[in-house]
Amino acid sequence: MKQEKHGVLLVNLGTAEAPTPKAVKRYLKEFLSDRRVVDTSPLLWWPLLNGVILPLRSARVAKLYQSIWMDEGSPLLVYSRRQQQQLAARMPNTPVELGMCYGSPSLASAIDNLLAQGVTNLVVLPLYPQYSCSTSAAVWDGVARVLKNYRRLPSLTFIRDYAEHPAYIRALQQSVAQAFVQHGQPDRLVVSFHGIPKRYAHLGDDYPQRCEDTYRALAARLSLGTDRMMMTYQSRFGREPWLTPYTDETLKSLPAQGVKHIQVICPGFSVDCLETLEEIKEQNREIFLAAGGEKFEYIPALNDDAAHIDLLQELVAKGL
């Protein structure tokens, strides 16, 4: 009789291994070479990437990494590893591995470790609450590439996203409530999601709908009206139009509308990283205050909060 063994693969985007231009360049090259992320023709994109973008951006991004680097390493990896360790502690009979789409630890090493332990039923959980072709689908592609090298494949459960999962919305609501207690209720709660090119959505990516689903569910839990809460998109890259309204432009305009105190939460990020700790907590704070704002607080990602681990455990339990 076949002996079944379950395993869990948590997957996040990835990060530079060190806050140095060389490490950042290596990471960005792998990330920006994925056609799921940038679908421009390689004949046009590769010369631009290697000749202009990587030489110019690597040193600048390395300095940004230096401003948020933790003693244990990159925040994205530190918090993702804590999530893996805490989930594994709750499931002692189920191997739990962490892999990154780009960089280290690689998807290949994580899957190799799981299959070496005899895993026959694999649950893949991308740590992206809202599906996008540029994130969750890239995980699917990466897992498939690794498994192509195996003759004996495990059964596979792929968790597409969890944008409206009750435990996820509950954890977000608790996080916001704690911020309100600590800092007072703001004039406006800004819910900022990572953007994607509008073209991706026009071609069928339902990411905007999934962000809106999260936003509506959170608004219902918080009982905040449209005059107290708003949704924006951050982290645009390149010249083509991305999803709007843009976070930075919105924060610049709010003080003139009488909004002097804001709090910002980024529910699309399962862990804090460069886009939250530097772009939002630092850059966008400066934008808001320079425009006449008076109080700005960033509400941290769920990271390794117990309520977040509860959610991850619920998600993978359905696939076991």
pLDDT of residue 238: 86
pLDDT for residue 3 is more than 90: no
139 plus 228 within the same structural domain: no
116 plus 255 within the same structural domain: no
**Residue 263 lies inside a defined structural domain of this protein:** yes
**Residue 246 lies inside a defined structural domain of this protein:** yes
Return the CATH number at 231: 3.40.50.1400
154 plus 191 within the same structural domain: no
**Residue 245 lies inside a defined structural domain of this protein:** yes
151 plus 174 within the same structural domain: no
pLDDT for residue 107 is more than 80: yes
227 plus 263 within the same structural domain: yes
Per-residue pLDDT tens over the stretch 172-210? 999 999 999 999 999 999 999 999 999 999 999 999 999
Cβ neighbours around 147 below 10 Å, total: 17
15 plus 67 within the same structural domain: yes
Domain count, the chain: 2
**Residue 56 lies inside a defined structural domain of this protein:** yes
45 plus 131 within the same structural domain: yes
**Residue 1 lies inside a defined structural domain of this protein:** no
288 plus 312 within the same structural domain: no
Range(s) of the domain holding residue 102 = 6-162+307-317
Per-residue pLDDT tens over the stretch 260-279? 999 999 999 999 999 999 99
**Cβ atoms of 125 and 84 closer than 8 Å:** no
**Cβ atoms of 189 and 263 closer than 8 Å:** yes
Per-residue pLDDT tens over the stretch 222-245? 998 889 999 999 999 888 999 999
